[in-house]
């Protein structure tokens, strides 16, 4: 089925000017960027986004990192977009990521891993709605 997923190009990647190279990977995989904007979050805004991780030991560090520089939030659309995006990103820890994936090529560590992608249709819907209104999704 055609799906939509929420993607974030993280501060480690925007700092190194990698937005275009990461977007090229998405587009080469057949994902269409149907919404995109560059924002800078506060730690509290990042904390709400990552609320599911609030009991994890790295939560504070994660929120501070996500607020440390601009991010690019985007909605990717395509056939099986959620799984396809996760395939293009590679494993969370770049040490485990397959060759050619975004995290294998660009990520610096498990925390500073260049991209985020939704993990399921339900979370994709919630995550998209956190950053975008329906009018901003131009499929
Ligand atoms: P992401 O897909 O954005 O979802 C939660 C994030 O937490 C994850 O990517 C990682 O960047 C981060 N994360 C996961 N494990 C760790 C860890 N052990 N230390 C720091 N950050 C982590």
Mean pLDDT within 112-126: 98
Mean pLDDT within 36-60: 98
Q: Which residues are annotated as a binding site for ATP?
A: 10, 58, 86, 92, 103, 113
With bands split at pLDDT 50, 70 and 90, how would you rate the model's confidence at 72?
very high
Token pair 């209104």: residue: 133
Q: Give the model's pLDDT for residue 117.
A: 98
Q: What is the ipTM of this complex?
A: 0.94
Ligand 1, pocket-test mutation among 64, 67, 113, most atoms within 8 A of CB: 113
Mean pLDDT within 8-19: 99
Q: Give the model's pLDDT for residue 90.
A: 98
Q: Which residues contact 130 (CB under 8 A, 6 or more apart)?
A: 6, 48, 49
* Measured distance CA(75)–CA(46) in Å, rounded: 17
* pTM greater than 0.90: yes
């Amino acid at each position: 089925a055609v799906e939509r997923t929420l993607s974030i190009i993280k501060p480690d990647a925007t700092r190194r000017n990698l937005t275009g190279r990461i977007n090229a990977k998405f587009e080469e995989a057949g994902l269409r960027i149907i919404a995109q904007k560059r924002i800078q979050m506060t730690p509290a805004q990042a904390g709400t986004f990552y609320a599911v991780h609030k009991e994890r030991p790295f939560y504070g560090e994660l929120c501070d990192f996500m607020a440390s520089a601009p991010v690019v939030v985007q909605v990717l659309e395509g056939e099986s977009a959620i799984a396809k995006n996760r395939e293009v990103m590679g494993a969370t820890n770049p040490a485990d990521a397959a060759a050619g994936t975004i995290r294998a090529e660009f990520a610096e560590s498990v925390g500073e891993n260049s991209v985020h992608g939704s993990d399921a249709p339900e979370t994709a819907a919630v995550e998209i709605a956190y950053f975008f209104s329906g009018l901003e999704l131009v499929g």
